[in-house]
Amino acid sequence: MEGQGTFVNSGNDSEFVVTVRGRHYRWLWLLLLLLLPLLLLLRFEKDVAFETLDSQTEKAVGNVNLDFYYVDYALIKTNPFRFFSKDTIKLNGKSEQNGKLKFTNVSYTLFSVVFHSGALATVKASANCAASDTLHPKFAHLQDMLPFHVGIGFDRADLVFKVLDKEDKQPLVDADVEVIVDGETKHLTTDPSGFVSLDGVIRCGDVAVNAQKEGYLGDTIKADVATILQGEHNSTLLLKPGKGIVSFTVLDLENDQPIPNATAKLIINGESVSVTTNTDGVGKGYFENVSAKEQFELGFSRQYYHDTISKKYKVPEFEKLKDKDKVFKMRPEKNNLVFRNVDSLTSQVIAGVANHVFVNGNDMGTIYSNRQGCFTIGNIGNNDEIKIESTHAQYKPKTATISGADALSNNQHKRDVAMEPKKIIINLPPPVRNCGVHFSGTLLSDTKVQGHISKIYEPDIYGEYVGDGRYANNQAAFPKAVKYTFDAIAVDKGTHLKVYSKPNFQGEVLLDVSGPYLINNVKWKNEARIKDFITKTFSPEFEANYPKSCRHWSESNMNAWDFGSVVITCDK
* Cα separation, 408 vs 521, whole angstroms: 42
Compute the distance between CA of residue 171 and CA of residue 189 in angstroms, rounded to an integer. 12
Q: Give the C-alpha separation, 321 to 482, whole Å.
A: 23
Rounded-to-integer distance, Cα 131 and Cα 150, Å: 10
The amino acid at residue 36 is L
Q: What is the mean pLDDT of the chain?
A: 84
What is the reported pLDDT for 399? 95
The contacts of residue 543 (CB under 8 Å, 6+ apart) are: 446, 537
What CA–CA distance (Å, rounded) separates 171 from 196? 11
d(CA 266, CA 300): 9
Q: Domain boundaries in the chain?
A: 38-154, 156-241, 244-330, 337-419, 436-570
Cα–Cα dist 370/349, whole Å: 9
Read off the pLDDT of residues 436-491 as tens digits, 9 standing for 90 and up. Answer: 899 998 999 998 888 789 998 888 888 888 888 888 888 778 888 888 788 999 99
User: What's residue 389's pLDDT?
Assistant: 96
Q: 299 with 272: CB under 8 angstroms?
A: yes
Q: What is the DSSP letter of 348?
A: -
Domain 38-154 matching CATH 2.60.40.10: the answer reads: yes
So what's the pLDDT on residue 17? 58
Q: What is the pLDDT of residue 205?
A: 80
- 436-570 has which fold? Gamma-B Crystallin; domain 1 (2.60.20)
- Please give the C-alpha separations between residue 271 and each of 51, 239, 267, 279, 311, in angstroms, as whole numbers: 66, 24, 5, 21, 14
**Integer Cα distance of 213 and 189 in angstroms:** 10
For residue 209, give the nearest of 231, 176, 243 by alpha carbon: 176
342-363 CB burial, b ≥16 within 10 A, e <16: bbbeeeebbbbbbbebebeeee
Q: Rounded to an integer, what distance in angstroms lies between the CA atom of residue 471 and that of residue 480?
A: 15
What's the distance, CA 275 to chain centroid? Answer: 29
Domain 337-419 adopts which CATH fold? Answer: Immunoglobulin-like (2.60.40)
CATH homologous superfamily of 244-330: Immunoglobulins (2.60.40.10)
Residues constituting the chain: 572
CA distance 143 to 103: 10
56 phi/psi in degrees, rounded to 5: -90, -45
* Cβ burial, residue 556 (10 Å; 0-12/13-18/19+): middle
Cβ-based neighbours of 92, under 8 Å, separated by 6 or more? 65, 66, 67, 68
Spatial contact of 316 and 292, defined as CB atoms under 8 Å apart: yes
Dihedral sign (CA 374, 378, 382, 386): negative
Return the CA Rg of the chain: 48
How far apart CA 191 and CA 515 sit, in angstroms, is 55
CATH topology of domain 156-241: Immunoglobulin-like (2.60.40)
Pairwise CA distance, residues 521 & 562, whole Å: 13
Q: Where are the alpha helices (DSSP H) in 153-234?
A: 225-228
137 preceded by cis ω (within 30°)?
Answer: no
- Structure confidence at residue 491 (pLDDT): 92
Check residue 92 and give its pLDDT. 93
Q: Which residues pair with 258 in a beta bridge?
A: 251
Contact between residue 316 and residue 286 where contact means Cβ atoms under 8 Å apart? no
Give pLDDT, residue 16.
Answer: 53
Tell me how far the alpha carbon of residue 95 is from its chain's centroid.
Answer: 39
Q: Do domains 38-154 and 436-570 have the same CATH topology?
A: no
Q: Going residue by residue through the chain (572 aa), what tens digit of pLDDT does each one get?
A: 444 555 455 555 555 555 555 566 666 666 666 666 666 777 888 899 999 998 888 888 888 999 999 988 887 776 777 777 788 889 999 999 999 999 999 888 888 877 887 788 899 998 877 788 888 898 888 877 779 999 888 778 888 999 998 888 889 899 999 998 877 889 999 999 999 998 888 887 889 999 988 878 888 999 888 888 888 888 899 988 888 888 999 998 888 888 888 899 998 877 777 678 888 777 888 888 888 888 899 999 987 788 899 999 988 889 889 989 999 999 887 778 889 999 887 788 888 889 999 999 988 888 888 878 889 888 888 888 999 999 988 889 999 999 988 988 888 889 999 999 886 443 344 555 678 899 998 999 998 888 789 998 888 888 888 888 888 888 778 888 888 788 999 999 889 999 998 888 888 899 999 989 999 999 888 887 888 889 999 988 888 889 999 999 998 888 888 778 899 888 76
Burial class (CB in 10 A: 0-12, 13-18, 19+), 145: exposed
